[in-house]
Amino acid sequence: MKTNNLLSHLITFTLTASMLFSITACHNSGNAKKQKSENESSVSASNTALSGNGEASEQSSDSSLISSKETKNQLINDNGIFSANYEKAYERTMQMTLDEKIGQMFYARCPDGDAAEIAKKYHLGGYVLFGKDFEDKTKDEVKETLQSYITSQAIPMTLSVDEEGGTVTRISAKESLSSHEFQSARELYAEGGLERIQSDAEEKAKLLKELYIDTNLAPVCDISLDENDFMYDRSIGLDADKTSDFVKTVTETSQKNGVSVTLKHFPGYGNNVDTHTGIAIDDRSYENFEQNDFKPFEAGIESGAHLVLVSHNIVNCMDDKMPASISPKVHEILRNQLHFTGIIITDDLAMDAISEYTGSYSPAVAAVLAGNDMILIDDIESSFNEIKAAVNDGTIDENVINTAVMRILAWKYTTGIMK
């Protein structure tokens, strides 16, 4: 495509995006003018492609391809952490069927049986592994099993695990897999500060890498100073600046040793209740998030973190009607204010807190419309069919799927999951 034609397409696409997806991000009375100015700007094309308009598309296949190219070019221009591989990822995405593309957006709980066959059937992007998946297995048995998942299809899977340390240890709690259980961040910091945090992050990454696990659903970036908070035991228990140093250290060390990190739980859990069993309503001001909760996430993003996981909390100053995980407004803040260019994933959509807020959409469809690249899901078949139906009836524009898949594949190329 000639330069002037490409520029014409890009301008047309950007203007259309500006008209359709002008946003106003959350703000409170003390910061209203600032937030209004920041968030009434048009959504970037990569984010615009992550919002469906609920109407069936009448585009021809040719115009759809042009739109995809414009999306690719806009992604390349964002100079994101995976941008060196956007071109390769785009070419691969354009060769994939709709089923294959939808499957890549699934970070599914690993089924109890026939996991490799299920991954192949639905072209799954990845599995999230829990303690049960390592029960009574030796290292060699784990490696053989996980290798069968990775190679079950043409595009290798990503495999992740919550290995935070302390109260959340999926692997190191198994004596056959680790000589000791990893300590909590708080215990490590008390023992030896950031130097001890660094050595622990290196040890974790090497163990996960040895077992063919490429992603850790950690570190916990939440700030919690009260021992009565739900998230207290899982946080490092320090202020915003020290928590930021912790996150930076873990991010750089883990990814240097070949394991992607996942910053969680955006936009910051604070002192809220457990969303596994109910909804958490966060009434803190936006300034509070800017001055405290955002800082550890910003530190991780600046250090090149590959993934961010979004919580199910309803954060009133950002979106008083939707849990963060399915709120376009929250995702726009993560993309446009914190400038995150990596993979956004939901918290577990099987959690009770999410089910009452998706309206006429299923949780999976709502999560895609909100701007997630990958969704953590248990019910693979139903969620897959719901997303496919939403694409076919125009609720989700296929370029929403294309954008997410291009980013996922670019990540996989960047990390060596794909060659």
Asked if residue 247 belongs to a domain, the reply is yes
Contacts made by residues 113-122, CB under 8 angstroms, sequence distance 24+:
115/149, 116/148, 116/149, 116/152, 117/152, 118/380, 119/149, 119/152, 119/153, 119/157, 120/152, 120/153, 122/380, 122/381, 122/384
Asked if residue 11 belongs to a domain, the reply is no
C-alpha to C-alpha distance for 213 and 204, rounded to whole angstroms: 11
Tokens standing for residue 357: 């807020």
Residue 122 domain boundaries? 97-389
Residue-level pLDDT, tens digit, the chain, 419 residues: 433 343 334 333 333 343 333 333 344 433 433 333 333 332 333 333 333 333 333 333 444 555 666 666 666 667 799 999 999 999 999 999 999 999 999 999 999 989 999 999 999 999 999 999 999 999 999 999 999 999 999 999 999 999 999 999 999 999 999 999 999 999 999 999 999 999 999 999 999 999 999 999 999 999 999 888 888 899 999 999 999 999 999 999 999 999 999 999 999 987 765 555 567 899 999 999 999 999 999 999 999 999 999 999 999 999 999 999 999 999 999 999 999 999 999 999 987 667 789 888 999 999 999 999 999 999 999 999 999 999 999 999 999 999 999 999 999 999 999 99
Structurally, the chain folds into a number of domains equal to: 1
113 class by beta-carbon count within 10 Å (0-12 exposed, 13-18 middle, 19+ buried): exposed
How many CB atoms lie under 10 A from the CB of residue 95?
8
Radius of gyration of the chain (CA): 21
Residue 51: what pLDDT? 34
| Residue located via tokens 């960047």 | 414
C-alpha to C-alpha distance for 247 and 255, rounded to whole angstroms: 12
Q: Are 219 and 246 in contact (CB under 8 A)?
A: yes
What is the pTM assigned to this prediction? Answer: 0.83
Residue 76: what pLDDT? 63
Asked if residue 47 belongs to a domain, the reply is no
C-alpha to C-alpha distance for 319 and 315, rounded to whole angstroms: 6
How many CB atoms lie under 10 A from the CB of residue 57?
17
Task: Please give the full DSSP string across 45-98, using - where no structure is assigned.
Answer: HHHHTT---SS-----HHHHHHHHHHHHHHHHHTT-TTGGGHHHHHHHHTTS-H
The 3-state DSSP class for residue 114 equals coil
Asked if residue 245 belongs to a domain, the reply is yes
How many CB atoms lie under 10 A from the CB of residue 393?
12
Asked if residue 41 belongs to a domain, the reply is no
| Beta bridge partners of residue 308, listed in sequence order | 263, 344
Q: Are 42 and 336 in contact (CB under 8 A)?
A: no
40 class by beta-carbon count within 10 Å (0-12 exposed, 13-18 middle, 19+ buried): exposed
Using CA atoms in the order 386, 103, 391, 68, what is the torsion angle rounded to 10 degrees? 160
Asked if residue 270 belongs to a domain, the reply is yes
Asked if residue 86 belongs to a domain, the reply is no
Between CA 341 and CA 349, with CA 345 as vertex, the angle to 5 degrees is 160
In 3D space, the residue among 309, 310, 328 whose CA is nearest the CA of residue 318 turns out to be 328
Between CA 221 and CA 295, with CA 160 as vertex, the angle to 5 degrees is 15
In 3D space, the residue among 322, 363, 325 whose CA is nearest the CA of residue 344 turns out to be 325
Residue 382: what pLDDT? 96
Asked if residue 269 belongs to a domain, the reply is yes
> What is the per-residue burial (b if ≥16 Cβ within 10 Å, else e) of 285-299?
bbebbeebbbbbbbb
Q: Which CATH number belongs to the domain containing residue 257 in this structure?
A: 3.20.20.300
325 class by beta-carbon count within 10 Å (0-12 exposed, 13-18 middle, 19+ buried): buried
Distance linking the first and last C-alpha atoms of the chain: 27
The 3-state DSSP class for residue 132 equals helix
33 class by beta-carbon count within 10 Å (0-12 exposed, 13-18 middle, 19+ buried): exposed
